[in-house]
């Protein structure tokens, strides 16, 4: 039995990753787990006094509202040393500060990680030492092999945690539970019934000061090679016999070994583009090449799309398309599973029959199933409806979940060495083709859906009709006694206008919300507006009937973080947490007061 980890040694403790992500996650973990006693040892290049280091820890913990005896113990006992962690003697001194076998967290650039491994190879590490590393794991397959060899000199593979915070414990187990605990889906989870699978991670954020890393990596390496291929593996793997680390990681490795670029042709199966100047959520965004720290000669893509195939019995012939991009018009984080159409539609049914579509949303984890059902009135007419559900949310942040695995010596959520190598092997043909200029790098304006001619990946008619529905809602209310079928509430808030309570009709949620601005810069803002949520998009309608995205009204609410507001409203509505007078200000941790009320 492995002894519990009593010390977390963070290399690169004075860096942004530690204060912004690692320490808040640690504070939340200690708050939730009242019996975990941990010593924190920090090492970095900055010359920090004990008081300065403790202040960093306290400030980071405060962002996670961390509290309790375990938090107090860590704050009181934490130490920091300025150190050159590439020197064996200085690493030996840091290990001497640890109690028992430590978990060593490499919050370091990739180039430094290899040098630290060389230094540790000259030392005798305590038995049970755990090593945790941030991506990227190498910069190609050969470098990943070399890194794995360096790590293997230090500790066994089961003590190495290659961190992928994108797939926290709750997300992985939500996907596994959905697949393997529901007989209705698993028999259909194959090429006999599934037409295609799309995994999309689109962001509205631009570069946001990450040029140092991103300009060398691009969207393909930053997201597809690492995070999205891990999602593919969990989605497509065979059922593991248990949820133990060995069985889970074996199943992921098997499916990734069968994965390759579709048709073996990166030119036909991949696309890439880079954003130009534009406007995202009412914010002007400069062209990528004009961002500070960017080298235009690198031809770095900010939008990447690659279609893969899995050469096994279950998935042969099913395209898996992975896409990720920055500075796009809307945020999309979802898995879209499109089923094959029915073999024959009985004569007499009227309407545009579409394939069944399953959407699994990532962060927060939710799902919707889009079906064809007989509509109200004429029973021969098919209508598109969506059934939704919310997965059980995890107690911890994603970083907290993976950190818990490190401290518990459980590598189930980490990326195994051979899997890291496979991910580089899978994308290697694409990287080579792109370096040769095939296909050409396209451009798109920031704030758009991508280059002209790119189809909306996984974008169903439900979503395509969102704009049309927003425009027709007013006339629809007039035709149906001032009740909105799309929104499902009558003028007094009753549900009489919704023929299917709780469903999303025509792509709109069955609700109306109001956004009420309070005092802003000393001026009263008492206008009540209707907020309509259409899938992941949010629109505002003012008293004059003017419609537009929430961001267009940003000037009326002060300098709000509009993306945070949108995420909050959509998430809280889906979970049914919105009540009259809901205090959204504290939830978004923003200085501008506003609240959400039902109409």
pLDDT digits (tens, 9 = 90+) for 492-527: 333 233 222 232 222 222 222 333 322 233 333 333
pLDDT exceeds cutoff 70 at 531: no
Buried-state track 150-163, b at ≥16 Cβ within 10 A, e below 16: bbeebbeebbbbbb
pLDDT band at 137 (very low <50, low <70, confident <90, very high): very high
Q: Which residue has the tokens 């492995």?
A: 2
| pLDDT computed for residue 211 by the predictor | 87
Residue-level pLDDT at 373: 87
| 215-224, 394-403, 439-448, 501-510: the lowest-pLDDT one | 501-510
- Range with the poorest average pLDDT among 103-107, 192-196, 528-532: 528-532
Mean pLDDT within 227-255: 96
227 among known catalytic residues: yes
Share of the chain above pLDDT 90, in %: 60
Q: 7-134, what's its fold?
A: Rossmann fold (3.40.50)
The per-residue pLDDT for 532 is 40
* SS3 at position 320: strand
Query: Could you read off the pLDDT of 326-381 as tens digits, one per residue?
Result: 999 999 999 999 999 888 878 888 766 789 999 999 877 889 999 988 877 777 88
Q: Which of 70-79, 218-227, 552-561 has the lowest mean pLDDT?
A: 552-561
Confidence at residue 394, expressed as pLDDT on a 0 to 100 scale? 72
Q: What is the pLDDT of residues 93-106, one digit of tens each?
A: 999 999 989 999 99
What would the pLDDT profile of 142-166 be if each residue is shown by its tens digit? 999 999 999 999 999 999 999 988 8
pLDDT band at residue 272 under the 50/70/90 scheme = very high
**CA gap 441, 271 in Å, rounded:** 8
Confidence of residue 453 (pLDDT cuts 50, 70, 90): confident
Q: What is the mean pLDDT of residues 86-98?
A: 97
Distances (CA, A) of 155 to 117, 130, 132, 150: 11, 8, 11, 10
Better-scored residue on pLDDT, 374 or 392: 374
Asked if residue 405 lies in contact with residue 413, where contact means CB atoms within 8 angstroms, the answer is yes
pLDDT at 456: 65
Quick one: average pLDDT of 246-250? 95
Ranges of each domain in the chain: 7-134, 169-445, 461-598
pLDDT at 131 over 70: yes
pLDDT > 70 in the chain, percent: 75
* Residue 524: per-residue pLDDT: 33
What is d(CA 127, CA 583) in angstroms, rounded to the nearest whole number? 50
> In b/e form, how buried is each residue of 108-126, taking b as 16+ CB within 10 angstroms?
bebeebbebbebbeeeebe
Report pLDDT for 569. 52
Residue 260 has pLDDT above 70, yes or no: yes
Alpha-carbon span 21 to 1, nearest angstrom: 30
> Tell me, what's the pLDDT at 516?
30
pLDDT at residue 212, as a whole number: 84
- pLDDT value of position 136: 87
Among 244-258, 321-335, 500-514, 537-551, the minimum mean pLDDT is found in: 500-514
Question: Mean pLDDT throughout 414-421?
Answer: 96
Could you give phi then psi for residue 198, rounded to 5 degrees?
A: -120, 135
Min mean pLDDT across 3-12, 102-111, 244-253, 540-549 is at 540-549
Tell me what the pLDDT averaged over the chain comes to: 79
Burial class (CB in 10 A: 0-12, 13-18, 19+), 376: exposed
Closest CA to 324 of 503, 198, 474, 495: 198
471, pLDDT greater than 80: no
73, 161, 165, 227: the active-site residue: 227
Residue 284, pLDDT above cutoff 70: yes
Most confident of 167-176, 436-445, 590-599: 436-445
Amino acid 446: pLDDT: 96
CATH of 169-445, one of 1.10.260.40, 3.40.50.300, 3.30.360.10, 3.40.190.10: 3.30.360.10
């Amino acid at each position: 039995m492995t002894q519990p980890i009593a010390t977390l040694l963070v290399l690169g403790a004075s860096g942004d990753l530690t204060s912004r992500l690692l320490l808040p996650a640690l504070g939340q973990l200690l708050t939730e787990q009242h019996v975990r006693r941990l010593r924190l040892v920090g090492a970095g290049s900055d010359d920090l006094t004990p008081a300065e280091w403790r202040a960093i820890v306290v400030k980071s913990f405060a962002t996670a509202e961390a509290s309790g005896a375990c938090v107090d113990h860590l704050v009181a006992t934490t130490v920091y040393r300025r150190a050159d962690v590439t020197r064996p003697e200085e690493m030996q001194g840091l290990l001497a500060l640890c109690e028992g076998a430590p978990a060593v967290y490499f919050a370091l650039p990739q180039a430094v990680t290899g040098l630290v491994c060389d230094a540790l190879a000259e030392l005798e590490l305590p038995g049970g030492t755990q090593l945790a590393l941030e991506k990227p794991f190498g910069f190609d397959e050969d470098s990943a092999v070399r890194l794995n060899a360096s790590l293997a000199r230090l500790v066994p593979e089961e003590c190495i945690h290659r961190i992928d915070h994108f797939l926290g414990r709750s997300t992985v187990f939500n996907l596994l539970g959905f697949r393997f605990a529901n007989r209705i889906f698993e028999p259909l989870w194959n090429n006999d019934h599934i037409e295609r699978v799309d995994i999309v991670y689109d962001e509205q954020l631009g570069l946001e000061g990450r040029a140092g890393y991103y300009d060398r990596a691009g969207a393909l390496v930053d997201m597809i090679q690492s995070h999205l291929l891990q999602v593919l593996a969990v989605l497509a793997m065979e059922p593991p016999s248990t949820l133990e680390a060995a069985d889970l990681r074996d199943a992921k490795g098997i499916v990734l070994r069968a994965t390759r670029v579709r048709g073996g042709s990166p030119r036909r199966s991949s696309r890439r583009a880079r954003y130009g100047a534009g406007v995202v959520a009412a914010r002007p965004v400069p062209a990528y090449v004009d961002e500070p720290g960017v080298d235009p000669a690198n031809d770095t893509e900010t939008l990447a799309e690659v279609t893969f195939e899995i050469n096994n019995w279950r998935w042969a012939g099913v395209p898996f398309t992975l896409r990720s991009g920055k500075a796009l018009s809307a945020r999309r984080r979802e898995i879209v599973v499109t089923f094959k159409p029915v073999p024959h539609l009985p004569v007499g049914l009227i309407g545009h029959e579409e394939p069944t579509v399953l959407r699994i949303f990532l962060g927060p984890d939710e799902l919707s199933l889009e079906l064809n059902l007989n509509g109200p009135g004429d029973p021969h007419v098919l209508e598109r409806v969506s059934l939704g559900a919310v997965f059980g949310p995890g107690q911890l942040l994603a970083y907290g979940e993976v950190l818990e695995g490190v401290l518990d010596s459980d590598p189930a959520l980490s990326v195994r060495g051979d899997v890291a190598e496979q991910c580089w092997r899978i994308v290697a043909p694409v990287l080579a083709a792109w370096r040769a200029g095939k296909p050409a790098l396209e451009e798109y304006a920031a704030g758009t859906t991508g280059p002209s001619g790119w189809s909306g990946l996984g974008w169903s008619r439900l979503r395509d009709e969102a704009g049309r529905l927003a425009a027709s809602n007013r006339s629809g209310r007039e035709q149906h006694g001032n009740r909105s079928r799309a929104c499902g509430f009558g003028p007094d808030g009753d549900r009489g206008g919704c023929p299917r309570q709780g469903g999303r009709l025509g792509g709109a949620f069955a609700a109306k919300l109001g956004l009420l601005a309070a005092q802003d810069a000393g001026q009263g803002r008492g206008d009540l507006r209707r907020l309509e949520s259409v899938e992941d998009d949010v629109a505002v309608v003012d008293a004059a009937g003017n419609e537009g995205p929430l961001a267009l009204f940003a000037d009326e609410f002060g300098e709000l973080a509009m993306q945070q507001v949108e995420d909050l409203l959509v998430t809280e509505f889906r979970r049914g947490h919105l009540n009259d007078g809901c205090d959204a200000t504290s939830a978004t941790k923003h200085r501008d007061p506003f609240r959400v009320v039902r109409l």
